[in-house]
């Protein structure tokens, strides 16, 4: 999925800049010329920012309630769907941020 988004983003950047592959300008040069960050990096930032808002929210708010919900029932056959929490844990690991639920409560109280 990340690759498809990156390809789509670069196609749009090249189109807006009027640059084709025949011009032999690499993607990094186009990004630097126009000061555009990779869309995948911006998505990581947005997820981490949203996670911070969820942690700061009080437990009785909708996002605080939905964050710790466990759904009872049987899982469907096949590969498990990608969960937001799984993606978030990967983002936290990539950013080298160690999250402990007990420390988050202490941070909000301080």
Q: Could you read off the pLDDT of 41-76 as tens digits, one per residue?
A: 898 999 888 888 887 776 667 666 666 677 788 888
One domain, residues 69 and 45: yes
Please state the rounded mean pLDDT for residues 2-30: 90
Cβ atoms of 19 and 34 within 8 Å: the answer is: no
DSSP label of 3 = H
Spatial CA neighbour of 89 closest among 37, 46, 39, 51: 51
pTM of the complete model = 0.66
Q: Are residues 29 and 57 in the same domain?
A: no
Domain range spanning residue 24? 2-36
CA dist., res. 53 & res. 55, Å (int): 5
Place of tokens 């990608």: 82
Domain match, 59 and 29 both: no
Specify whether 14 is located in the same domain as 65: no
Based on the domain organization, do 7 and 54 belong to the same domain?
A: no
Q: What is the pLDDT averaged over residues 21-34?
A: 90
76 shares its domain with 104? yes
Same domain for 70 and 18, yes or no, is no
Indicate if 45 and 7 belong to the same structural domain.
no
């Amino acid at each position: 999925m990340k690759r498809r988004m990156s390809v789509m983003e670069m196609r749009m950047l090249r189109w807006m800049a009027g640059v084709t592959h025949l011009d032999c300008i690499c993607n990094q040069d186009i990004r630097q010329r126009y000061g555009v960050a990779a869309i995948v990096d911006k998505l990581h930032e947005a997820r981490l920012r949203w996670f911070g808002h969820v942690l700061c929210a009080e437990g009785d708010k909708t996002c605080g309630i939905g964050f710790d919900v466990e759904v009872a029932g049987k899982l469907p056959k096949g590969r498990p769907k990608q969960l937001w929490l799984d993606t978030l844990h990967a983002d936290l690991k990539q950013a080298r941020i160690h999250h402990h639920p007990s420390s988050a409560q202490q941070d909000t109280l301080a």
